[in-house]
Amino acid sequence: MHNRKEVQMFKKGISELFKVFDIDLRLTKNRMNYVFYEPSVILPSYIEVLEAKASEQVGRFSQLDKNIDYNTIQFLFAELRYDNLMSVRMGLDFDLELREQVRFITEDRYPSLWLAFVKIPGDKGHGLNNENHGFGYHIHYIEFQSKKRKRTDVVFTFDPSENQSQKMDTLYWFNHGTGKHIIHHNPNAFGIRRKKSIYDCATPFLGTISKTYFQNPPNRSAILYP
């Protein structure tokens, strides 16, 4: 979920990108609001079209255009991300999915868009030239209902700044995601046995991924265990 200021920046970036290519997607108001508020979910389906347009007009984008707001487009590029599933561990009645959030638009995947809006104007302070396109590992909590896997809004992470030598690594949780198909939970209400079961299932991930590569616990997070 994004705050109001970020949503406004998304709106500006999306509108600017469509304006540059003179594209009218003929979206309904509700559909356009969905694009604005959840760009990482729906906008990638249009990126292939935009890449093709940029490739066709490569000469046009070979030099700076004072009429293009590169900053807002770069903000959009920087924040368009998806969760890459890395590993799954199974608990007694739940699964834990280790995921890494990575950028959707990179130079390798969309070279024409990258040339037009990043390489020619230069990075406007959004870290787009950083070789590491990942933004921290995190763990999704999946539960079973009637033998079916159900996504919840619970995410776990370790603190990358925590002392590496301490005996027990602290596991944090926070809520993320909305929707009628997502189950809401408050892990503070979990019993100690469930908390320890989740912790024992999550800590083996640290055997392959160093704690320093995990997502920083957001301010709204809480300690699950110990």
**Mind listing the pLDDT tens digit of every residue in the chain (226 residues)?**
456 677 778 788 888 888 898 877 666 666 666 665 566 666 677 788 889 999 999 888 888 899 999 999 998 888 888 788 999 999 989 999 999 888 888 888 899 999 999 998 888 777 776 654 456 899 999 998 888 888 899 999 999 998 877 788 999 999 886 666 788 999 999 999 999 999 999 999 999 999 999 988 988 999 999 9
Nearest to 40 by CA among 89, 7, 86, 71: 7
The range of the structural domain enclosing residue 152 comes to 133-226
Q: Is residue 150 a part of any domain in this protein? A: yes
Number of domains in the chain: 2
- Pull the structure tokens for residue 220: 């709204």
Q: Are residues 4 and 113 in the same domain?
A: yes
What pLDDT shows up at residue 105?
Answer: 86
How far is it, in rounded angstroms, from Cα 86 to Cα 100? Answer: 7
Examine the domain organization and report whether 24 and 116 are in the same domain.
Answer: yes
CA atoms of 20 and 41, how far apart (whole Å): 22
CA gap 106, 61 in Å, rounded: 17
Residue 88 within any structural domain of the chain = no
Within-domain flag for 91? no
Same domain as 119, residue 33: yes
| Together in a domain, 15 and 75 | yes
pTM reported for the whole predicted model: 0.72
